[in-house]
């Protein structure tokens, strides 16, 4: 029997110039206004997408990388996605909105209060994509930490949020319908101060936001990326959704998902408490012949093509690869400790010895595309991409997929117009509104409760 899966969408450019550098920028949307995002999120909801995760970077990086991050309008400018969320909620009824929040930048009490506010305003459709970027901490006077210490801080931060959300005990809110016969709105004896003094934070509660409908079952979603052992441990302990980057074959997907589920058990949670969505950055084309042409064209990149690939990777790496000699090696040691290990792993994927491999060969590998039908890449027809998604669900037990791109209507239609009907025809993607769409919010849609 076909396994129904969840679909998420990762807004990969973040709250920045949508469509920049492509012809569809001439549609004339102003990225600083909410209309382009509202139209696009309505399309995602119509498609049956469960959650929209919004990328963010609060920093333009070091002074040496400012031009690198803004010249292609990818690393910046960016506005705060948390403040975009209410506009997206106003345009939709079911889809969850999950802005990225940096655990090293936003104080936990403030984050808990903002999240509680948006959870109430949206009827239970809010979530936090918790990241541990340490390079941005200097903007708020926080210390830079190494990879594992940043996760230690995020562990404490996320636990604090949940503790603050729970500072109103059962029965603390009395006037739930506005007509309490006692005349009392709330019972202060059931609200706890929740003083926390830990390795990274010293915070006193209680939170001055009321409890959620459904109590703990109504809390905002916690979402996380990160495939390192520490990142998977964090997901097991805290996350409702893990954004997974892995080779898209049955064995790799099953193995990754089982690691996350085992981490949940090790943290004292049910293995079913975490949904794992696998990144599928598909390029949907009209025919197999077109797919073959696209793939063939990528096999022999020019130097200009390679420099475009280098520029695309440079922003996330905060290292201008375009300045390096294409015919000399570039080793992982050339990057700062704050650079994501996952991003580096992606850059050097398939390279056995980065220390002796010319940058040209590394970038050539990243420029090459492959046919989804041959298991070599993600270029294919809607039917071929649907074959892959269905196989990952039926044979590997995948909870679902994470599509990605900018939040521009042209991008979404190019990706979804033929893929959504095909996934629905097969029963992989639901055709009706999510369970609990009229109440229960994002958790009901993801966990069926």
Tens digits of residue pLDDT in 166-206: 999 988 988 766 565 667 889 999 999 889 999 999 999 99
Structure token digits, residue 20: 């920049």
Give the per-residue pLDDT at 141.
86
Please, what's the b/e burial string for 345-364 (b: 16 or more CB within 10 A of its CB; e: otherwise)?
eebbeeeeebeebebbbbbb
Question: Residues 6 or more apart from 141 whose CB is under 8 A from it?
Answer: none
Query: pTM for the full model?
Result: 0.93
Q: What is the pLDDT of residue 177?
A: 63
User: What superfamily in CATH does domain 6-287+378-447 come from?
Assistant: Luciferase-like domain (3.20.20.30)
Specify the pLDDT at position 370: 96
Chain centroid offset of residue 307 CA: 27
pLDDT at 180: 56
Which residue ranges make up each domain of the chain? Answer: 6-287+378-447, 300-367
The answer to whether residues 372 and 384 touch, using CB atoms and an 8 Å cutoff, is yes
Q: Is 278 helix (H, G, I), strand (E, B) or coil?
A: strand
- Provide the pLDDT for residue 334: 75
pLDDT at 260: 98
Q: Where do we find the tokens 């990879």? A: 147
Is residue 79 within 8 A of residue 15, CB to CB? The reply is yes
Q: List, in sequence order, the alpha helices (H) in 318-358.
A: 341-347
CA distance 157 to 110: 11
Q: Enter the tokens of residue 421.
A: 């009907």
State the residue for tokens 């901490």.
137
Contact (Cβ atoms closer than 8 angstroms) between residue 407 and residue 12: no
Kindly compute the dihedral angle of the four CA atoms of residues 151, 331, 322, 61, in this order, to the nearest 10 degrees.
Answer: 20
CA atoms within 13 A on the CB side of 305: 15
pLDDT value of position 436: 47
**Residue 27, token pair as written in the block:** 């549609």
Which residues of the chain fall below pLDDT 50?
Answer: 436-438, 449
Alpha-carbon gap, residue 308 to 180, rounded angstroms: 64
């Amino acid at each position: 029997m076909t396994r129904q899966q969840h679909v998420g969408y990762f807004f990969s450019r973040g709250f920045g110039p949508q469509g920049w550098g492509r012809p569809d920028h001439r549609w004339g949307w102003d990225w600083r206004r909410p209309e382009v995002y509202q139209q696009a999120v309505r399309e995602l909801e119509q498609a049956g997408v469960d959650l929209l995760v919004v990328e963010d970077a609060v920093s333009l990086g070091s002074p040496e990388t400012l031009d690198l991050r803004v010249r292609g309008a990818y690393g910046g400018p960016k506005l705060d996605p948390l403040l975009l969320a209410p506009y997206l909620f106003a345009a939709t009824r079911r889809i969850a909105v999950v802005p990225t929040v940096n655990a090293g930048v936003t104080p936990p009490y403030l984050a808990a209060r903002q999240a509680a506010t948006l959870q109430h305003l949206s009827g239970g459709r809010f979530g936090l994509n918790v990241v541990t970027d340490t390079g941005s901490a200097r903007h708020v006077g926080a210390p830079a930490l190494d990879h594992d210490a940043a996760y230690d801080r995020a562990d404490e931060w996320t636990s604090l949020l949940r503790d603050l959300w729970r500072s109103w005990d059962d029965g603390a809110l009395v006037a739930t319908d506005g007509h309490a016969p006692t005349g009392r709105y709330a019972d202060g004896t059931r609200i706890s101060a929740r003083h926390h003094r830990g390795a990274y934070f010293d915070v006193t509660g209680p939170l001055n936001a009321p409890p959620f409908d459904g109590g703990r079952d109504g809390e905002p979603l916690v979402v996380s990326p990160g495939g390192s052992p520490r990142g998977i441990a964090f997901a097991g302990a805290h996350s409702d959704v893990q954004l997974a980057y892995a080779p898209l074959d049955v064995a790799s997907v099953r193995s990754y998902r089982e690691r996350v589920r085992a981490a949940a058990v090790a943290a004292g949670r049910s293995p079913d408490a975490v949904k794992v969505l696998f990144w599928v950055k598909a390029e949907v084309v009209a025919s197999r012949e077109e797919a073959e042409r696209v793939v063939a064209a990528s096999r022999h990149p020019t130097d200009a093509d390679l420099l475009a690939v280098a520029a695309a990777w440079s922003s996330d790496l905060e290292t201008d690869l375009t300045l390096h000699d294409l015919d000399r090696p570039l080793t992982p040691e050339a990057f700062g400790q704050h650079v994501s290990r996952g991003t580096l792993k992606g850059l050097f994927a398939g390279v056995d010895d980065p220390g002796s491999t010319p940058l040209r060969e590394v970038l050539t590998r990243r420029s090459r595309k492959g046919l989804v039908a041959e298991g070599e890449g993600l270029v294919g027809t809607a039917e071929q991409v649907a074959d892959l998604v269905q196989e990952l669900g039926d044979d590997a037990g995948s909870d679902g997929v994470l599509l990605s791109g900018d939040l521009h209507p042209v991008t979404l239609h190019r990706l979804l117009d033929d893929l959504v009907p095909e996934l629905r025809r097969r029963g992989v993607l639901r055709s009706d509104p999510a369970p609990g769409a009229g109440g229960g919010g994002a958790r009901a849609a993801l966990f069926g409760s």
